[in-house]
Amino acid sequence: MDSNRITVMVAGESIAAGWPSRSSGFRGKLARELASRPIEWVGPFVDENGLPHAGYHGHAAHSIYGQMEELVAFRPDVVLFSGGLNGLPDQSPEEVGEYVNAITNTFLANGTRAVHLLAFTDVRGLSERVALYNGEMKKVADECPGAHYCAHVGPSLGLATHDSPYFVDECHPSDLGYDKMADEILKDVFRFEGKPKAFVGAADMTPAELWRAADAAFRSAYPSLNDSVRQFALAIGYFETQFGLTGSWAPNGVPSNNWGALVYREGRDPGYFIHGDKDAQGNPTSPKFAKYPTLQEGAIAFFETWAKPNTYAAAAQGDTWGVAKAMYGYHYYTGTSGSSYERILAYARGIESVAVMGAGLLGEKPAVALNAPPAPSGTVTGQPFSGGNMLALAGAVGIFAATLLLKPGSPK
């Protein structure tokens, strides 16, 4: 038997099972990010992706407690427990807490080294009740050595609504929501800063390496572009989201434009977050992912999005003001207050400074120039923006194996 192997069980109800995700819910991202660790996932059920679990659809805490003899037989070293929310709205928080306490103590009495209680997601109209349920979960963790309350896992998604990209209904997370839950678990339980998909390899690059990787992908997609168009494409991609590494509105580290595809390793199914259908108020009702399987296709997708006729014509002349003005006309740029001149100038200054920086990193001469017209009378010009910082990524797992002797706990 491998003494370094860790058996991990995800137990609970439908969220533990990952319903309705076809990617194993939060378990799927955990398994992917921890694939290099000596972890064996265990449980009485196996989903369509071959990943074991102990998620009982529709079961309340007392019903899950009734399955404990079967569950402890799997000898889990670590348990991630997401159960009890099916007691809403009628089951008292105290009763839920009693059964969660019994479940936790049964695992701990039978060799499990750590039980991590995952805080519930918020439910519309029942927020106060959910808070009381979570309070009971925290109380169990505070009173049971070996138990730990993961306070941010469910609440990190915000309120469960149909128009939230993190939920598919008023309770169950979407794939995006499950991935966000997994990120919280990776940090809180495994002390592992799981890399958002857009960061595959890119966060470890120097700025020059990052620019060269993006430039190589773009050249392979468009070998005949002149230098000024290529430099503008690179500059805009970096200025907007650092080639997909940042993006202020982007949920869960998902890049907000097609340049995100350039920092993915091939074969990792890159994509960026876009909105599908919208309701009458303009809120997204069916978020979607656009996917590009290679760096070259990502560069093509970005270029097709950005290079509208007026923008391309200005870029071909190396005219930074013309590029910014054309993008403003296409409603690409709305990030500052002030007159149209101020907004265009601020964006033009930003992409020019980035283009000059990028040319230097690539060992080229800049092929762009600002060429801004005089400001209208009385105008106070804006200032350029700076790019965001890359994230630091690190982590490790340090959990030991254990043995099992069946000693069930019981509700108080």
What is the overall mean pLDDT for the chain?
75
Summarised one tens digit per residue, pLDDT across range 26-53 is: 999 999 888 878 899 999 999 999 999 9
User: What SS3 state is found at 25?
Assistant: helix
The β-bridge relationship of strands 114-118 and 52-55 is: unpaired
pLDDT (0 to 100) of residue 343: 82
Reading the block at residue 403, the tokens are 């043995």
Confidence of residue 397 (pLDDT cuts 50, 70, 90): very low
pLDDT at residue 86 is higher than 70: yes
CA 371 – CA 351 distance, rounded (Å): 13
pLDDT at residue 101 is higher than 90: yes
pLDDT (0 to 100) of residue 213: 77
Q: Where are the domains of the chain?
A: 6-188, 200-361
Q: Is 6-188 a domain of CATH 2.120.10.30? A: no
Fold match flag (6-188 vs 200-361): no
Summarised one tens digit per residue, pLDDT across range 11-25 is: 999 999 999 888 899
The hierarchical CATH code for the domain 200-361 is 1.10.530
Q: Are 230 and 221 in contact (CB under 8 A)?
A: no
Q: How does DSSP assign 162-176, residue by residue? A: TT-TTBSSSSSB-HH
pLDDT (0 to 100) of residue 299: 64
- Report the pLDDT averaged over residues 288-305: 57
pLDDT at residue 404 is higher than 70: no
Highest mean pLDDT among 100-114, 269-283, 389-403 belongs to 100-114
Summarised one tens digit per residue, pLDDT across range 157-173 is: 999 887 788 888 888 99
pLDDT (0 to 100) of residue 40: 93
